[in-house]
Amino acid sequence: MDRLASKDSWIATGHYADKKWALPPLNVSNLFAYGKFPPRPQLRRPVDRSKDQTYYLAAIPEESLSRALFPLAPYKKTEVREMAHKWGLPTASREESMGICFVGEKRRFDDFIAEYIPPKPGPIIELETGKTLGRHQGLYSYTIGQNARIRGMPQKMFVARKDPKQNAIYVVPGSDHPALYCNSIVVDKWKWIWEDAPPAGIDGEGFRGRVQHRHRMVDVPGTIQRQADGSIRITFQKPQSSVATGQVAAMWNRDWCLGCGVITATEDSLTRN
């Protein structure tokens, strides 16, 4: 996509996303010049929200977005299949894939990754007591919020934290344990699609928008603020569960995707980690 800056280059992609052209939001800095600038491309959610892929495109540069075409934007997936049947395309009857394309739906991700990364066993520790409950074969096999599947436990234990330095996984009882929730996140390497025009207010009280911290989740209200060190803090309106560092957090103004960054820390109501 970085090669699309040329005015003679276009690319049509099968992503479920949309693009609109619009003038920058009116504010004090452009009040007297408003209307003199050309429209700019906005990454927008598609009609079929169940297939929305704007989360994956949230880091696209504005120059590349301006040369991108999203022909599936106005269609539901069912309509696309109907057109494929009508035109006799080989993909018309292909089963829909919900897994990672290079792993496949029938393989476990940890089995796949174990072919490339040697096992690195470590302890599984109960967060509240410090008691070792079992062993894991690698941090990559677990994600925040998942069932740890520890045998012999009277109740299910869920992953609350991963410690790469100690190669340890910390678990808590129950899927609604407070340690699984956070009120805010710190995000680094933030990328605005419009680099020169971040939302008004992010250096003060913050900009209120909609946030996703993983694919296929329903976006939630949040306030984004830029910190003195350049990092971004997003405070959720309601505590969020299963937020993992290393994942991408993206922000929208209604259905307009503004940008994204990498989650480096989660913060709960008691401490900042």
What domains can you pick out in the chain, each with its CATH number? 2-93 (3.40.50.620), 109-175 (2.30.30.280), 179-267 (2.40.30.10)
Give pTM, 2 decimals. 0.85
- The structure tokens listed for 13 are 């992609």
Q: Tokens 């909609």: give the residue.
A: 210
**Beta pairing class for 248-253 and 207-212:** antiparallel
How many Cβ atoms are within 10 Å of 135's Cβ, its own excluded? Answer: 11
Q: What share of the chain is helix, strand, coil (3-state, %, to 5)?
A: 15, 35, 50
Q: Tokens 């509240």: give the residue.
A: 128
Amino acid letter for position 207: F
- Work out the burial of residue 261: count CB atoms within 10 Å of its CB; fewer than 13 is exposed, 13-18 middle, 19 or more buried: buried
How many Cβ atoms are within 10 Å of 41's Cβ, its own excluded? Answer: 19
* pLDDT, one tens digit for every residue, the chain (273 residues): 555 555 678 999 999 999 999 987 765 555 555 556 789 999 999 999 999 999 999 999 999 999 999 999 999 999 999 999 999 998 888 877 665 665 655 667 777 777 888 889 999 999 999 999 999 999 988 999 999 999 999 999 999 999 999 999 999 999 999 999 999 999 999 999 998 878 888 888 999 999 999 998 999 999 999 999 989 999 999 999 999 999 999 999 999 999 999 999 998 754 444
**DSSP element (H, E) containing 86:** helix 77-86
